[in-house]
Copies of this chain bind each other. A is one copy, B any other.
Amino acid sequence: MLTKKQLIEFSDEARKNYLDHISIDCVVFGFHEGQMKVLLLQPHDEKKWLLPGGFVMKREPIEQAANRILKERTGLDKIFLQQFYVFGDPDRAKFHSDLYKDTLPDHENWFSNRFLSIGYYALVDFFGVVPQPDQFSETCTWRDLDDMPELLLDHEQIFKTALDALRLQLNHQPIGYNLMPREFTMPELQKLYEAILGKKLDRRNFQRRILGFGILNRAEQPRKGGAHKAPYLYSFDLENYQNALTEGFRGGW
């Protein structure tokens, strides 16, 4: 929680630089060791968590704003971003406005504004991210998709909506490409699909189907060193991938 002085300073700066009433919240997905991960922030003196977010500068394109916000949280540039919904309930940020209601009167406190929040989901390479808390937060860290803590405000709803959008767009967006490292094995890619869809898939049928799309290149050398039979390494054929996505992969999983 900010001191009164900090809050006044922040509010003054915000009013100068940002659009009133607009915020951005991001659901940042990563993939590591067979698990989908989401990047979360824990505010000072709070049990519950928040999605990374921020505001839009007065003349800034909104996608650029989302990129700027995420660069501060992850260190990454040029992140894959997809806008998925606007959350516009008048009381959606009641927690934030209540938090400081004894510190500063509403008309001076930026956080007592009504904010419509534009939801973006982001797909990042897990190993490229260096989580960095913002000034309101104690920590910034990855959480497993199936071990999510309680979230503040309406961020639970935002998160769930993002996950739904991700599932719906699995055949229409380069989701695998942006979440996997450059080279990966077929079982690893399958784990990603299983994590997103929340169900097991048949190993053999998965392989045949993915390969049938013609969007993967197989490396000549299989991965060495592991136990058991050495798996082949694959990478995405970006050109074919893009073409296939415009059509959308046929059928369901």
Chain A residues packing against B (C-beta within 8 Å):
19-22, 56, 58-63, 83, 85-86, 88-90, 114, 116, 118, 168, 172, 248, 250-252
Q: Is the CB of A86 within 8 A of B89?
A: no
Q: Which B residues are in CB contact (< 8 Å) with A89?
A: 61
In the complex, chain B residues whose CB is within 8 Å of the CB of A83? 85-86
Contact of A251 among B21, B62, B251 (CB under 8 A): B251
Whether the pair B21, A86 counts as a contact (CB closer than 8 A) is no
Return the 9 tightest CB-CB contacts between A and B, nearest first: A62-B88, A59-B90, A19-B21, A86-B86, A86-B118, A20-B20, A61-B89, A250-B252, A61-B90
Contact (Cβ within 8 A) B114 A88: no
Assess whether A114 is in contact with B62, with CB atoms less than 8 Å apart. Answer: no
Select which of B58, B85, B172, B250 is within 8 A of A114 by beta carbon: B58
B-side contacts of A250, CB under 8 Å: 251-252
CB distance from A109 to the nearest CB of B (A): 16
A9 to B168, CA, bound (A): 46
CA distance A32 to B179 in the complex (A): 45
The answer to whether A60 and B90 have CB atoms under 8 Å apart is yes
Interface centre among A61, A86, A88, A90 (most CB of B within 10 A): A88
Chain B residues with CB under 8 Å of A58's CB are 114
CA distance A62 to B89 in the complex (A): 7
27 pairs of residues in contact across A and B, judged by CB atoms under 8 Å: A19-B20, A19-B21, A19-B114, A19-B116, A20-B20, A21-B21, A22-B116, A56-B116, A58-B114, A59-B90, A59-B114, A60-B90, A61-B89, A62-B86, A62-B116, A63-B88, A83-B85, A83-B86, A86-B86, A88-B118, A116-B118, A168-B172, A248-B252, A250-B251, A250-B252, A251-B251, A251-B252
Are the C-beta atoms of A88 and B61 separated by less than 8 Å? yes
How many angstroms from the CA of A251 to the CA of B56 in the assembled complex?
A: 40
- Chain B, residue nearest A60 (CB): B90
Contacts of A85 in B (CB 8 A): 83
Q: From the candidates B21, B59, B118, B248, name the one contacting A20 in the complex (CB within 8 A).
A: B21
CB-CB < 8 A to A90: which residues of B? 59-61
